[in-house]
Structure 1
Amino acid sequence: MTLRYIAMPDMDAERLRQGGRDAYGNLPEKHISDGMGVPCRHCLRNVEQGRAYLILAYRPFSSVQPYAETGPIFMHAEACRAPDESLLPPILTSSKDYLLRGYDANERIVYGTGGVVPADMLEQRAEELLARSAVSSVHVRSAKNNCYQCRIEAA
């Protein structure tokens, strides 16, 4: 199975950089990166030391419903390029483990799919989840802070 790693859409990133409001109706906060643990959800790379980044509330779902979690994320304050969806993003190699959770076509959690997975097993577990007929996508989150990283789908 070929996996696709899907970042925050370009349109969402640009809207937020241009002063758009986050999922809670707030303006993103602007900070300067110390180079440690500031993963951009648009390019799926860490924000380099000395570069500006935004902190904002993000809901990576197409509609507001009971399973549409919202949480804090980071992204470059200036334009950055969306990643090649066919390559494992750098932010998914920077921790020792991640939380993976399967969602159905209606963006609802498929119960029994959630769990913390070692980084070196991330792709294997995503493939296992996506092989299930009920699972349309897999969300990757921080195992420590539950922050959304990206979505994985079968190509």
Structure 2
Amino acid sequence: MDYIVSGLPIEPFQSLFGLDDEALRERGAVRQVAEASHGYPCRVSLQDAEPGETLLLLHWRHHDVDTPYRASGPIYVREAAQAMARVRNSVPPQQQRRLLSVRAYDREGWMQQAEVVDGAALEPLIERYFDDTRIDYLHVHNARPGCYACRIDRG
């Protein structure tokens, strides 16, 4: 099965990097410092921030469709992120070590299936979902605490 795991594009966030705390608050964002490994997942690079690294916590519309499944929520973006991650035919370590909620959508943005899975078992689920011709793409969320994680498309 050929698939691509993608982070968010970096361009919408670059203008926020380096802003002071007041300017970030005016835009509904806050800067946080990672206190531990594996607790601050960047949605652009698909890498967890290292302790001491700064990230922005902000609201993001990750599923901008004209259906009741339009969705948004909080995300982290590492200020050191350089580019949007695109990983072909491999599940990034960030997703492998988490409990995930995977949502399968058709071309119009209607959810067709959903399942909670341990990240180590994500790849077989990708294959099963993409065997269904109705499924166009997947959105992956961290089941704890439930934030958007990444998108998966057919390769």
Q: TM-score, normalised by structure 2?
A: 0.84
> Structure 1 pair 103/39, CA: closer, same or farther in 2 (3 Å)?
same
CA contact (8 A) 2:66 2:109 kept: no
- Root mean square deviation of aligned Cα: 2.3
Q: Shift of the alpha carbon at 1:119?
A: 1.9
Secondary structure, in 3 states, of the residue corresponding to 1:60? strand
Shift in alpha-carbon separation, 1:63–1:10, aligned structure 2, 3 A: same
Residue number in structure 1 paired with 2:97: 94
CA distance in 2, matches of 1:59, 1:16: 16
Q: CA deviation at 1:73?
A: 0.9
Normalising to structure 1: TM-score of the pair?
A: 0.84
Letter paired with 1:115: E
Question: Which structure is higher in strand share?
Answer: 2
2:104 and 2:122 map into 1 onto residues whose CA distance is 13
Equivalent positions of 1:1-155 (< 5 A) are 1-17=1-17, 26-36=27-37, 37-63=39-65, 65-86=67-88, 87-95=90-98, 97-110=99-112, 113-155=113-155
The alignment-based identity, stated in percent, is: 25
Superposed CA deviations along residues 68-116 of structure 1, whole A, max 9, x for unmatched, are 1111111112343332421422211222x21111011112211xx1111
